[in-house]
Every structure is written in C-alpha cells, then in structure tokens.
C-alpha cells in the first residue's frame, strides 16, 4: 500500500517519510536504525527492526507502511519493551472463517503457480500473502490456518495447504553483528531503489544488481564500529584485512522459510519453491551472537553442550536459542551448522509451534471463549432472594443467601430448601442393566429392591474413588443413578465406555439438564411436603413417583445434611413453580433456603465426604474409612482386583475426623505432630451445634498420632459422624 509523504513520531521526534516507505525504511532514510542494531532484511524474517507501534510491541517495522498518525517507540536496548495499560476496548472479538479446497501461503512465483494449477483443476483456492496484509501465523489440525489480516483474524479450513513462502537470507553470526549499518542484499536493493544513500558500501557475497558497492573477497571475521559499522574484517589467504565502510551488504546464502510447514507435521501440507529447497548451511560460527532475538552467543551454545544437551531440540530448550521474535529464522541455520561441526551430521530443523509471528493478546483471544457455566432453572429465584452466586462444578450455585448460619439453623431446627438440580442424573435400563451396574459399582446392586435406593462409591480399575452418588431401583431393569455435580460428565463417559467395552445391551439417558431437583430437608420436611400433596412420604432410602403441586415428581428419601431429607426431581420447566410453592407452604414453619456454605457445614457435621474436596486421585475406600461401601463378596466389579491385591498391604494414609475447640482453621491447613507436618485439613467448620471446630483431614504418616496441632492449637482424632452418630434424625 503506497502512502503520501508525511511525518510520524519516532521516540517522540517527528520523522519524515516518502511515499511507499515502510517505517523501517523511513528510519534508515533518516540515518538511524529502526531497532537497536543488527542486520536488516526488510523482509519480515528477523526481529532486528521490531519496535512498538501505536502501543503494540514487537511490530515488524519493515512490514508496516509509514503513516502520519503512527507513533513508533524503539524497544529499550537489551530488555523487553515497557508495559502499558491497554486502553479499554469495547470491540467484540470477531473471527472471519472461510473454507477452501486449497490454501496457498505466499504469492511469489511458486505460490501463484500452485494456485493457478489448483484452480485449473477446479479447486477452490485461497491465496494468502503477507505482502497483501494476510500474514499466516499458525497451522493447526484440520488443517486450519490462522492469519492476521487488516480486517482482523481469519481462520481458513482447507483440504490442502501449500506453503510457498520462499527463502530467507542468512544473516552473519560473528562479532559486531549487532551494529547498525548491516543489510542483506535484498534489503540493500530495496533501499537503493527507494533512493536511500547507503554511503560507502561494501559487499560480502554476490552484490545486488545496481547497488553501488565494493565487493570484498575472503571470509567474514568480524564487524567493527561503535553502534554503527565503521569497517569489516575479512580473512583472505590467511591474512586479515580491515575495510572501512558506511554500510555492509551481506549475501551469505539462503535458508527455507518453512516455519509453517514445520508446524504442520502429519497434516496435508505441501511445500513448494524455495521454501522446499535444501540450501547449504553457513560455516559453523565460532564466536559472537548467534540468536540476536534472545541474545544467545556461541559461548552459550558451548555451555549447554558441555552440560550434555547434544540434540538440537535440547540445545534449544536449554539455551533458549530460537525462541525469540523470529522463532529461529536467523539462528537456526547457524545452530544446525554449529552442531554439524561437532557431530559430523547436520540435524534437521527444530519443531515450530504457533504463533510464527508476534500477535497481540487480543488477537490470540479472538474466538477463544471462557468455559460456559450452567444455570439451574432457579437461578433467578436465588438472585431475587439475595443469594451470592458462585461457580461450582460447572454451574452457578448459591453460596449463601446473606446469613449462612441462619440457613444452617433452618435445616437443623425447621425446614429448608436446597437447589440440587446440578447433581448428575441418569436413567439406566435394558436387558443387561443389572449386570452392568453389578460390574460398575462395588455394592451389590442386585440386592436393591425396586423402590429402594443405596449410596454407592464409583471406583476405577485401580480401586480409587472417582465419584459417588445414589442408586435408585425403579423396576427389575430400570435404575436412576445420581452423581456429584462436578463428576457427572466424567461419570457418563465412564459408563458409556464400559457399556461399549463389555458389549452389554444397556440404555443410558443423561437427565442432568432435563430434570431439576430440590432438596427439602429438616425436621419439619415431611410436614411441609404433606401440605403440597405428599401424603405418604417414602421412608429412609426409599423413593417414589408422585404428583406434587400438580406435577410428576420423583421423590427420594436420603440425607446429606443429617436431617430428614427428600430430594424432589422434576422437569426443569416446572421448577420455579415448585420452589415458590414450597416456600409459600412452609412460611409458618420457619422455612428458608440454604446455600452451599451452610450445606458444606451440615454435611461435615455428619462426616460425609465430598469427592474431589476430601479425596485425592488415589483415594481408596479403605483410606476413607468406607470399606462398608464395598462388597468384596461380589465376584467382580471395577477395582475389585486392585482392592483385593492391596488389602493386606500397609497404608500410610487415612482421612480422619478431627475436632478442636474454637474457630475453624482454614481448609488446607497443615496438621503437625512433634513439629513435623503429618497431613492437612480438607474440610473445616465451626459447628454451632457442637460448639467446636469439626474437620476432615488427611494423615499421611504412620503410625497415626491421635493428638496433634492445627493452627498451633491441639486437635484430636474424633471418628465421624460428629452429629447424631446413630442417624436417628435422618431416619425420623
């Protein structure tokens, strides 16, 4: 894009530019360097001209057309650019998407040729060329190309990708290569054609056509000068010779621009033209900076080599060579040559990864979304009741409604509602349903009679607890299963995998987002439910299908809070009506809803674990003290072999109940014994009913002490449940 003459700001000083100038060219025209030194390629290959342009750092000024409104600030010498608080943006991220049979990257001779051939074959072709402002920065599976364009980010999915990005000019790796006044042959020609005076120019390697310069013979040894080149030292016939100059033109060979192809291993990507050529490597560098972007010298390479990192990928990781702005475009040929000089064999180039060019956080974030958190149908009801909502297990849930202790007391002394719509809810049926569940669970599912339910652990093959929930039997073949809020998704995959693996005829339906659930809990729960039509409430661990407030509901009698509890599963579109009806019917009973904060305390008083909070990835039933949930008399179930194998082995881990006077320590607090940390607290609650702190915590060092310190206070092991140990209230 050509521009009119004008001025832009460089480090706060107005600088003139000519029509057609890039920013880099205009700076060179003024006798300066657009970066802080180093060879200029003016082709976008190196990082020597990057600067901050209009607040965006690491912009290649050689690829940016000069314009009157631009503000350019050079990066500081030897350090990262300054951080600026970005201006607030109200722009919505937008990505354009496109599909094509063939995408050709690069509009040079070979690229245009490939595009023409594909078009003539009747294929839909998209050609992306950086010169047109369409800079491809990544290739992903698909293959999908990500390009930065003037209109924003572009994602193109193609059947085939052709990389025709040409070749980059090799830059010098020798002392003095960070001075100003060094240009590649192609850059010298561009500067000359733009009317920029290069002064007394000398060339190493074939000089560019038409550019006045003196050709030097011999090998490049070093470049001399202070900030800017003043002379070049060559070795010719065993004699060093210094040649004064204003500009050093370097034509040291080429290397393929194949970074996109190296990103696309195993993808249908074809490389054509110069980018597919195997150019000879330059002589191995012996001293000086090899990777100007990161400032890695030959001495750094020797350092990592001497420490045993003797493969290219390891040298890269250990030294950080090739991890800078140009992603190895400058240094890769030199590092390969350096390794080849030591091993006798040139290694292939290192793997490339997106992005090949610096992109802004905004550009990287385009089309990236935060996880979507679900809302229960009662979300607005909770908000209207003053709930503080928070994210748990992929859902928005009420943490409290302003007074978690009042909510706690409503459960213990009256009646309360809890929104448990988030629980995983599944229907299982089919001829092999019982066989399937027998294999899936460690409990004897066959002994659960229709109308009854049972708490069950879900184990993996190693006998580790991965989830828990209820098994409700409805008929000979039909079961309702519940799982934890955060574990429901994995539980579904787990079940489907095993149904497939075992080849059983089992039908499975996820009802998690089709059914809502309200937990009615407290000593007056049954009284409340009688008012809305539950004349015959199920007994503890029974369940029934019944019409409540005019809708079909599935009522399960269980208890997580320690009080009589009825979990009412019902269609999501009727949930608000049921919730409001229950609150209205219980108004004179002291009803109020409870949030998770109260629920966590209530369940902790009962010693109920929360999977993922009180358990770890390798937690077994034995470690939880829940061997009672495992029926080892069953011939087979997932995890049985592992449990049988490890049953007689010593185990240094136990989840135990803990109590101590006073306030509840922070969850995660260390448990100490005689000055040693022997475990940590997983759950903690200052029980208003019990007048002390109750906790669950891991002891991880045998023999297990029975007294220790938490928060510098004495604590004791107290077997749970801490509240109503006989379970009379839950069964009432």
Partner 1 sequence: MRAPERLPALRLVASPLTLDGLAWPEGVAALRLASDDLLLIGEGRMALGNEPAIIEEDAGFVGWWLTPSELETAVLPHADWPLPPSRPALAQGLVAGVPAKIWLTEDRALLLCAAAYAHELAERLG
Q: Are 305 and 315 in contact (CB under 8 A)?
A: yes
Q: Does 375 contact partner 1 by CB under 8 A?
A: yes
Instruction: For the CB of residue 643, give the shortest distance to partner 1 in the complex, in Å.
Output: 32
430 binds partner 1 (CB under 8 A): yes
Among 4, 94, 109, 475, binds partner 1 (CB under 8 A): 94
| Between 99 and 444, CB nearer to partner 1 | 99
Instruction: Please tell me the distance from the alpha carbon of residue 705 to that of residue 701, in angstroms, as a whole number.
Output: 9
The stretch among 230-238, 252-260, 572-580, 645-653 that binds partner 1 (CB under 8 A) is 572-580
Number of Cβ within a 10 Å radius of residue 286: 12
Q: Tell me: does residue 372 bind partner 1 (CB under 8 A).
A: yes
Per-residue contact track with partner 1, 399 to 428, x per CB under 8 A? ----------------------------x-
By CB under 8 A, is residue 328 in contact with partner 1?
A: no
Identify which range of 2-10, 72-80, 373-381, 603-611 contacts partner 1 by CB under 8 A: 373-381
Cα dist from 142 to 269, 359, 718, whole Å? 11, 21, 57
Q: Tell me how far apart the alpha carbons of residues 672 and 661 are, in angstroms, rounded to a whole number.
A: 16
Mask 684-713, x = binds partner 1 (CB under 8 A)? ------------------------------
Distance (Å, whole) CA 260 – CA 139: 6
CB of 294 to partner 1, least distance (A): 34
Only segment of 319-327, 457-465, 566-574, 686-694 that touches partner 1 (CB under 8 A): 566-574
Local structure of residue 538 (DSSP, 8 states): P
Give the separation between CA 714 and CA 456, rounded to whole angstroms: 34
374 lies in the site for partner 1, by CB under 8 A: yes
The yes or no reply on residue 443 touching partner 1 (CB under 8 A) is: no
- Beta carbons of 507 and 428 less than 8 angstroms apart: yes
Position 431 contacts partner 1 (CB under 8 A)? yes
214 binds partner 1 (CB under 8 A): no
Length of the chain: 732
Which of 36, 148, 511, 729 is close enough to bind partner 1 by CB under 8 A? 511
CB atoms within 10 A of CB 320: 16
Retrieve residue 706's tokens. Answer: 């029975």
Q: Please tell me whether residue 573 binds partner 1 under the rule CB under 8 A.
A: yes
CB 346 within 8 A of CB 375: no
Q: Which helix (H) or strand (E) holds 548?
A: strand 543-548
- What tokens appear for 685 in the block? 């609650």
Distance from C-alpha of 526 to C-alpha of 378, rounded to nearest angstrom: 22
- Measure CA of the first residue to CA of the last residue in the chain; give whole Å: 82
Residue span binding partner 1 (CB under 8 A) among the ranges 12-20, 56-64, 512-520, 591-599: 512-520
Provide the token pair at 535.
């004349």
| Binding residue for partner 1, selected from 7, 96, 241, 634, defined by CB under 8 A | 96
Q: Does 124 bind partner 1 (CB under 8 A)?
A: no
> Number of residues in contact with partner 1, rule: CB under 8 A?
39
Task: List the one residue from 279, 305, 309, 373 that touches partner 1 (CB under 8 A).
Answer: 373
Residue 223 · residue 252 · CB < 8 Å: no
Dihedrals φ, ψ of 646, to 5°?
A: -100, 0
For position 504 contacting partner 1 by CB under 8 A, the verdict is no
Residues that bind partner 1 (CB under 8 A): 92, 94-97, 99, 144, 155, 157, 367-377, 379, 395, 427, 429-431, 477, 505, 507-509, 511, 513-515, 571-574
């Amino acid at each position: 894009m050509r521009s009119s003459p004008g001025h832009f700001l460089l480090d706060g000083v107005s600088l003139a530019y000519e029509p057609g100038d890039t920013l880099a060219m205009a700076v060179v025209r003024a006798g300066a360097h657009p970066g802080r030194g180093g060879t200029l390629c003016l082709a976008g290959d190196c990082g020597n001209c990057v600067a901050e342009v209009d607040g965006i750092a690491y912009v290649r000024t050689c690829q940016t057309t000069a314009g009157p409104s631009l503000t350019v600030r050079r990066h500081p010498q030897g350090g990262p650019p300054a951080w600026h608080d970005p201006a607030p943006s109200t722009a919505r991220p937008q990505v354009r998407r496109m599909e094509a049979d063939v995408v050709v990257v690069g509009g040079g001779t070979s690229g245009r040729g490939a595009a023409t051939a594909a078009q003539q074959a009747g294929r839909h072709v998209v050609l992306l060329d950086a010169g047109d402002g369409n800079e491809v920065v990544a290739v992903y599976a698909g293959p999908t190309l990500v390009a930065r364009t003037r209109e924003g980010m572009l994602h193109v999915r193609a059947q085939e990708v052709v990389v025709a990005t040409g070749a980059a000019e090799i830059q010098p790796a020798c002392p003095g290569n960070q001075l100003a006044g060094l240009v590649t042959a192609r850059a010298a020609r561009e500067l000359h054609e733009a009317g920029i005076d290069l002064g007394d120019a000398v060339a190493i390697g074939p000089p560019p056509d038409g550019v006045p310069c003196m050709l030097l013979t011999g090998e490049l040894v070093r470049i001399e000068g202070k900030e800017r080149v003043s002379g070049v030292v060559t070795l010719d016939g065993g004699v060093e010779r210094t040649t004064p100059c204003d500009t050093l033109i370097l034509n040291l060979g080429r290397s393929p621009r194949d970074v996109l192809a190296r990103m696309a291993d195993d993808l249908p990507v074809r490389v054509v033209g110069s980018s597919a050529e195997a150019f000879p490597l330059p002589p191995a560098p012996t001293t000086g900076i090899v990777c100007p972007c990161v400032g890695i010298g030959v001495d750094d390479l020797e350092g990592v080599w001497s420490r045993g990192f003797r493969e290219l990928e390891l040298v890269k990781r250990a030294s950080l060579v090739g991890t800078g702005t140009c992603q190895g475009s400058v240094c890769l040929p030199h590092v390969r040559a350096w390794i080849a000089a030591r091993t006798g064999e040139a290694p292939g180039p290192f793997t490339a990864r997106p992005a090949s060019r610096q992109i802004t956080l905004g550009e990287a974030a385009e089309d990236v979304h935060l996880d979507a958190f679900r809302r229960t149908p009662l979300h607005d009801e909770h908000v209207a009741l003053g709930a503080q909502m928070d994210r748990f297990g992929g859902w928005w849930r009420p943490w409290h409604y302003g007074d978690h202790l009042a909510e706690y007391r409503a459960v213990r002394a009256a009646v309360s509602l809890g929104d448990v719509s988030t629980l995983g809810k599944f229907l299982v049926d089919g001829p092999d349903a019982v066989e399937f569940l027998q294999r899936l669970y460690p409990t004897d599912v066959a002994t659960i009679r229709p109308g009854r339910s049972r708490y069950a652990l879900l184990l993996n093959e190693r006998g580790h607890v991965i989830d828990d929930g209820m098994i409700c039997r409805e008929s000979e073949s039909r079961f309702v299963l519940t799982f934890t809020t955060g574990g429901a998704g994995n539980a579904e995959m787990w079940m489907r995998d095993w149904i497939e693996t075992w080849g059983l005829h089992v039908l499975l339906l996820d009802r998690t987002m089709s059914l809502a659930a309200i937990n009615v809990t407290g000593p007056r729960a049954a009284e409340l439910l009688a008012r809305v039509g539950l004349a015959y409430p199920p007994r503890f661990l029974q369940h029934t299908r019944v019409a409540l407030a005019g809708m079909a509901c599935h009522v399960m009698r269980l208890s997580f809070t320690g009080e009589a509890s009825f979990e009412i599963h019902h269609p999501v579109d009727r949930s608000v009506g049921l919730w409001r009806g229950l609150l209205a019917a219980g108004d004179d009973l002291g009803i109020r809803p409870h949030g998770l904060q109260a629920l966590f305390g209530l369940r902790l008083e009962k010693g109920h674990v929360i999977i993922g909070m009180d358990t770890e990835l390798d937690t077994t039933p034995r470690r939880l003290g829940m061997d009672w949930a495992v029926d080892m008399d069953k011939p087979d179930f997932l995890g049985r072999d592992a449990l049988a194998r490890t049953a007689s082995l010593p185990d240094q881990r136990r989840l135990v109940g803990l109590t101590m006077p006073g306030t509840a320590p922070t969850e995660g607090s260390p448990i100490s014994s005689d000055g040693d940390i022997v475990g940590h607290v997983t759950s903690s609650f200052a029980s208003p009913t019990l007048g002390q702190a109750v906790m669950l915590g891991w002891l991880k060092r045998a023999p297990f002490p029975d007294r220790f310190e938490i928060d510098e206070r004495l604590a004791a092991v107290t077997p749970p449940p801490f509240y109503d140990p006989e379970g009379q209230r839950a069964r009432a």
